[in-house]
Structure 1
Amino acid sequence: MTNPILAPWRTAFELPPFDMIRDDQFAPALERALEAHAAEIEAIAQEAAPPSFANVVEALEAAGEGLDKVLGVFFTVAGADSNDTREALQREFSPRLAAHFAAISSNKALYARVRALWEQRDTLDLTDEQARVLMLTHRGFVRSGAALEGAQEARMTEIKSRLASLGTQFTQNLLADERGWFMELSEADLEGLPGFVVDAARAAGQEKGVDGPVVTLSRSLIVPFLQFSPRRDLREKAYAAWAARGANGGETDNRAIAAEILALREERAKLLGYESFADYKLETEMARSPGRVRELLMAVWEPARDQAAREEAALTELMQADGVNGPLEPWDWRYYEEKHRAALHDLEEAELKPYLQLERMIEAAFACANRLFGLEFAPLDVPLYHPDARAWDVTRDGKHLAVFIGDYFARGSKRSGAWCTAIRGQAKFPETQAPIVINVCNFAKGDPALLSWDDARTLFHEFGHALHQMLSDVTYESISGTSVARDFVELPSQLYEHWLEVPEVLAEFATHAETGEPMPEALLTKLLAAAKHGTGFQTVEYVASALVDLAFHEGSAPADPMAKQAEVLAGIGMPHAIGMRHATPHFAHVFAGDGYSAGYYSYMWSEVMDADAFEAFEEAGGPFDAERAKALEAHILSTGGSAEAEDLYTAFRGRLPGVDALLRGRGLVAA
């Protein structure tokens, strides 16, 4: 029988036929797709005609359609709805894929044709976009080791394969720890918890097959538990489990894996002639060098730590008023910060949350996209990979632009965090194709599902990434959508978060789950006034993680990453009561793959731009200024990686930004 993964998808909008796809079809589909792609690559490499943009670069762009289909579907379900079979397949596929792509980058005949084109680039009469794709193609080969010979080439192949396996194992170990731990709660343990936390705990207990409520390591449950539980002993137990993910000993311990990954990355960089992995990685980013990254992070660290110290003093005073002596601990911070916010701003999460219904926040994200860019969203009744996932047809002026899939609820089969991915990217070559974009989140289920303010911000953040994919308008898929510098990719997502705080958006969409009444103006005012509350804590936990990531990669790889982490934190004066946002054993951004390695700083780098970019709207006609929205789409959201990030931002804003707007936005300096 024809494998439905590889067969033409004769479905609405050519979506994957998820209702026909079985786990036992992935391996044979991958086998056939790899063989087909290898044959295509060899044909390009051995082409008798002289190298041209069409028979080399465009041929590479067109190759691998079947492989793209297999990987798009498989990694979607492996990340969002895993099981034992899919985890085993992922462990099997990772080194095979690494070897496959290493063979392409080390294909001497193919590289010779790419290099020949690069050397005659000034005579090829290319469009700007074609010239950009040629540059990126050539650079990709060089940075992958195409120029290496003999033992060095063989070692590079080994390193890539081993790194792929280690990244997969790191991810699966973390998922196992998150899935395996939960803490049962008695009815007495629920005392002091608001209703939405109790409901989420009961729903989590049902998922775990437990007769009663539980706390799991899902951020959407453990964070509110740490915020609201008056039981310090239970908070300590939950926090300890959360902090220990990936460091519990045994088969799921990630510490040795992290050490090996760092050593292999350093070796890889030195094989290519770089001083360090950070030098290698940052060469293609906006930051360019480790020094510029450190300069940015330290410019933010000092005011953030000062602010955190002021916050800690206030929280310690509240704790001591409760009769608790000794220092504030990490499991105390969120509990007393919630009390402090309630006292300072007369605002409690429990009061706010009924107004942040998931359905209404989805509507809000869509409505902002409609006002800014003219997008329309119509629900689709199509088979998807999980009952919780749902899809929309995205159109503008009646023309189909994309399919958007939202998968919002936490479950044991889904890795933690939130992300945006595309089963298919936008392109016009070799034929026009509309993107299929997915937002995956981990919100607690409820009836109705209620979000925290942080959850709502996450929803807008990931939808900003989705807009980057859906509004892409380039010719070649390799530079479409989010295929941009890592420290530029977070600009659209972080910028879109600002529209959540626009008063008229909240006034329309923040309606009470029971009464349907809009958020009272007094509560809205308090919410916006409290928006900068706790920014010292938030900034410190993030910047500490970014500085540890940078330290791991800018010098010799540490034999003991945990000791290096401790050294870095001591050197910057990390407050005792604040933990890193991502400690090494569960730092999936950095160790699950190369994406954010030596690049976790990029959220902060992009925030410098997003704060400045939103000020451009405020300086013009307001958050929905038509001209600014048009410029944002024209110069950033539609352009993908078709030009250097600096040039794209300058085209939008007229200049590059400084750090001042970020510090103002976080309330770390006087406005």
Structure 2
Amino acid sequence: MASRIQRLVKSAGALNFRRSPSDIASTIGTIIARGKEVQDQVAAQTLPTFANTIAPLARFDNDSGADAAIVSFLQNVSTDKLVRDASSNAEQQLQAFRIEAMMREDVYRSVSSVFKNSKEMDRLEPEDRLLVEKMELQYRRNGLALSSEQRQKLGQIRKRLSELGIAFARNINESDGRILLTREELDGLPDDYFDGRKTEIEDGLEKYVVTTKYPDLVPAMQHAKRESTRRRLLTVEETRCPENIPLLQEAVGLRLEAARLLGYKTHAEFVLEENMAKTPEAVLEFEHDLRKRLDALADKEVAEIEAIKKADKEAAGEPYDGLFNWDFRYYSNLVKERKHSVSDEEVKQYFPMKEVTRGVLDIYQEILGLRFVKVENPDVWHSDVEMYEVWEAKGDDFVGHFYLDLYPREGKYNHACVNSIRASYSKDCESCEYPAAVMLANFPKPTSSAPALLKHDDVLTLLHEFGHVFHHLCTKTKWSYFQLDSVQVDFIEAPSQMLENWGWEPSVLRKFAVHYKTGEPIPEELVKRLLAAKNEGAGLFNMRQAFFGLFDMAIHNTTDGNVDIRSLYRSMREEITRFAAGDANACGAATFGHMMGGYDAGYYGYQWAKVFSADMYASRFLKDGVDNPQTGMVYRREILQPGGSRNASASLEMFLGRKPNNDAFLKSIGLD
């Protein structure tokens, strides 16, 4: 039995991340050549059927998916710039091939023939039938019902959009800002912020290097007492990558042009057709209604912040000149500390990374009925990376792998995300492919005096991103086509958002929140203060989210492809978030990666999905018990397992036993 399991894990874990530039070029060339061969065979069918047309196309996706994902993924993590460049180039080639593939009229004729064959469709199993329907729809949405000239134009647009998106992401990854600051200029930052930090001599003074990576930026924006320091750092962050503004500007115009070619008024109308929201009107109604509900709460929070800043200015003998973006995190944090005596510095002593990771994994093991085994000395892309096997808790059924790359380094992706590397799918009647996913994050690194310590927000981020990991690993479909990336974009965040709630449960925190020196569990009194402060700033935070969603709709639900992104971003942010931009050259849109990373006309989905996450948590897990494995297995079966093979609305109703509502969401942000 043991040897069979070992063979199983070995065969399931053969992912090769060590690719040279020439390996990457060779791999992508092989994938594209094989893809064209399959398409030629499909196009040549005289009597198209599911077996000779749809299945070969889907099987190609199954077989090539992992290699394609790896060679595209390396641009986000490799320490070798040549590898990153080769990976970026490979992704560009792959995207161009996929665009070309979706524009092949001869292949579409065969797919359409199967779709229109009612007898053939009636014989198919539900997932196979849905696969045909989705494929046919994607071809039509890619212009196959257009004239030859229009199709050619659309293909050119899609290719250019792919190039723009890749360049936009590369600029963000490789253009981190940095400034040099003295210890005095960083007054308010804790001692461990300086432990191990690089220094340089400038103007005869030793100064610390502070970058715009999250572990540098966020603590400084929250704790640096000097307004000039916060202003300088945020200006560096919001003026980096200026070359991205014209890229986004061009993309907005091209998206509108493509939508019009396909018969839609706006790009948002085109995108939302496949989402739960369905129409731009539904999104705007949701956003404006939420904004209206938040107005009074946000006004109250602004008044509190304004009073503190005015007092600070008066004490310093300086004139009060208003609230600016660099004030938001600092004074929001100050209000929380003063009202609830909650300090990140106190809290993080109880969240050492090792214990938090163990505790979070224990939560997922218990809820989802899984078992994790850490792989020693894995063959991965960097020494920081950890690799885990995933097994069913009962029996010896292997599930898949996940990888954790949690700390910042030069050239690495700058935020937190999950990359689906290999999808689950049926290989034949008796076996399946085992999924693999990677979590990328940029948490604070260990120092010479302390292990990596997480703020409570970091703990919630870890819970959230693991939610994506296990959504991917628990998806079980016949075709990789229905993996995590095919889940409706305005639902895909809901499972991860729901699991953040475990980070607020006292009974859960007691299991892993321990002092990094003494091992003492987090005091009950501190947990109470954390909970009391949970919704502090909820009005302004959700207003900020509403701004991002409304800005997204403003540039994508428009008939003007020349909308001025820089001025629109600035004016909307000041109006909605109530904090002024200050610097005339600042434009956060240059690093708003979602707009070029698949969330165009979809950012609203974060708040939209929050409604469902709150409902699932309150209606099932709070009611049944947050550690109830029976509820967890129902959740796994009805929410995670279908992936994109079932409409999210149907999955929600199956899990909830009714249609969802927003009662729990409003209550969760203090608006009940």
Shared fold, TM over 0.5: yes
Q: 1:204 to 1:428 in 2, by over 3 A?
A: farther
Q: 1:72 to 1:384 in 2, by over 3 A?
A: same
For 1:261 and 1:573, how far apart are their aligned partners in 2? 25
* 1:360-379 alignment, distance < 5 Å: 360-379=355-374
2:248 equivalent to 1:243: no
**Residues 503-541 of structure 1: CA distance to partner in whole angstroms, max 9, x if unpaired?**
111111010111111001100111111111111221111
Aligned length: 644
Give 1:97 deviation, angstroms: 2.3
- Aligned match for 2:246, one of 256, 259, 266: 256
SS of the aligned residue for 1:310 comes to helix
- Aligned match for 2:182, one of 166, 180, 186: 186
2:98 equivalent to 1:111: no
Q: Which amino acid aligns with 1:16?
A: L
2:511 alignment counterpart: 508
Q: Which amino acid aligns with 2:410?
A: G
Give 1:568 deviation, angstroms: 4.1
Give 1:578 deviation, angstroms: 7.9
1:98 alignment counterpart: 95
SS of the aligned residue for 1:327 comes to coil
- Aligned match for 1:390, one of 386, 409, 420: 386
2:253 equivalent to 1:277: no
- Aligned match for 1:222, one of 208, 217, 224: 217
**Which sections of structure 2, spanning at least 5 residues, go unmatched?**
1-7
Q: Which runs of 4+ in 1 moved over 6 A?
A: 578-582
Q: 1:321 to 1:564 in 2, by over 3 A?
A: closer
For 1:347 and 1:30, how far apart are their aligned partners in 2? 51
**Residues 127-152 of structure 1: CA distance to partner in whole angstroms, max 9, x if unpaired?**
11112111111111111122223211
* 1:97-496 alignment, distance < 5 Å: 97-121=94-118, 123-124=120-121, 125-178=123-176, 181-199=177-195, 202-203=196-197, 213-247=208-242, 253-322=243-312, 323=315, 324=318, 325-381=320-376, 382-396=378-392, 397=394, 398-430=396-428, 432-446=432-446, 447-496=450-499
Q: Which amino acid aligns with 1:107?
A: R
SS of the aligned residue for 1:188 comes to coil
For 1:175 and 1:631, how far apart are their aligned partners in 2? 39
- Aligned match for 1:636, one of 632, 636, 639: 639
Q: Which amino acid aligns with 1:276?
A: T
Greater CA drift, 384-393 or 477-486: 477-486
2:608 alignment counterpart: 605
Q: 1:211 to 1:16 in 2, by over 3 A?
A: farther
Give 1:406 deviation, angstroms: 0.6
SS of the aligned residue for 1:437 comes to strand
For 2:14 and 2:535, how far apart are their aligned partners in 1? 42
For 1:425 and 1:204, how far apart are their aligned partners in 2? 41
Q: Which amino acid aligns with 2:590?
A: P
1:584 alignment counterpart: 589
Contact 2:49 2:120 in 1 (8 A): no
SS of the aligned residue for 1:438 comes to strand
For 1:574 and 1:392, how far apart are their aligned partners in 2? 41
Contact 1:174 1:586 in 2 (8 A): yes
Give 1:169 deviation, angstroms: 1.3
For 1:165 and 1:93, how far apart are their aligned partners in 2? 11
**Residues 566-612 of structure 1: CA distance to partner in whole angstroms, max 9, x if unpaired?**
45456x54412589999321111012x3x100000011111010001
Contact 2:340 2:533 in 1 (8 A): yes
1:565 alignment counterpart: 569
Q: Which amino acid aligns with 2:295?
A: R
For 1:494 and 1:152, how far apart are their aligned partners in 2? 41
Contact 1:541 1:578 in 2 (8 A): no
Q: 1:127 to 1:610 in 2, by over 3 A?
A: same
Give 1:245 deviation, angstroms: 2.9
Contact 2:351 2:514 in 1 (8 A): yes
Q: Which amino acid aligns with 2:371?
A: E
Give 1:628 deviation, angstroms: 2.4
1:39 alignment counterpart: 37
Q: Which amino acid aligns with 1:348?
A: S
Contact 2:62 2:479 in 1 (8 A): no
For 2:580 and 2:665, how far apart are their aligned partners in 1? 24
Give 1:94 deviation, angstroms: 4.3
Contact 2:215 2:443 in 1 (8 A): yes
For 1:405 and 1:664, how far apart are their aligned partners in 2? 35
Q: CA RMSD in A?
A: 2.4
Contact 1:96 1:161 in 2 (8 A): no
Q: 1:257 to 1:480 in 2, by over 3 A?
A: closer
Contact 1:483 1:641 in 2 (8 A): yes
**Residues 187-212 of structure 1: CA distance to partner in whole angstroms, max 9, x if unpaired?**
3334331133233xx34659xxx986
Greater CA drift, 83-92 or 393-402: 83-92
For 1:87 and 1:359, how far apart are their aligned partners in 2? 29
Q: Which amino acid aligns with 1:156?
A: L
Q: 1:565 to 1:212 in 2, by over 3 A?
A: closer
- Percent identity between matched residues is 26
SS of the aligned residue for 1:192 comes to coil
1:81 alignment counterpart: 78
For 2:342 and 2:9, how far apart are their aligned partners in 1? 52
2:501 alignment counterpart: 498
Contact 2:418 2:438 in 1 (8 A): yes
**Which sections of structure 1, spanning at least 5 residues, go unmatched?**
1-8, 248-252
Contact 2:400 2:436 in 1 (8 A): yes
Give 1:561 deviation, angstroms: 1.6
**Residues 216-264 of structure 1: CA distance to partner in whole angstroms, max 9, x if unpaired?**
10122211111111122111101111222323xxxxx211111110011
Greater CA drift, 403-412 or 101-110: 101-110
For 1:64 and 1:330, how far apart are their aligned partners in 2? 45
SS of the aligned residue for 2:516 comes to coil
For 1:574 and 1:133, how far apart are their aligned partners in 2? 43
Q: 1:488 to 1:614 in 2, by over 3 A?
A: same
Greater CA drift, 52-61 or 97-106: 97-106
Contact 2:179 2:211 in 1 (8 A): yes
2:48 alignment counterpart: 51
Q: Which amino acid aligns with 2:134?
A: L
For 2:639 and 2:260, how far apart are their aligned partners in 1? 34
TM-score, normalization: structure 2?
Answer: 0.91
For 1:503 and 1:211, how far apart are their aligned partners in 2? 44
Contact 1:91 1:168 in 2 (8 A): yes
SS of the aligned residue for 1:81 comes to coil
1:250 alignment counterpart: none
Contact 1:401 1:435 in 2 (8 A): yes
Contact 2:463 2:496 in 1 (8 A): yes
2:5 alignment counterpart: none
2:4 alignment counterpart: none
For 2:652 and 2:236, how far apart are their aligned partners in 1? 42
**Residues 369-424 of structure 1: CA distance to partner in whole angstroms, max 9, x if unpaired?**
12111111111022101111110111112321010101100112112111111210
Q: 1:100 to 1:17 in 2, by over 3 A?
A: closer
2:60 alignment counterpart: 63
SS of the aligned residue for 2:131 comes to helix
TM-score, normalization: structure 1?
Answer: 0.91
SS of the aligned residue for 2:624 comes to coil
For 2:617 and 2:369, how far apart are their aligned partners in 1? 19
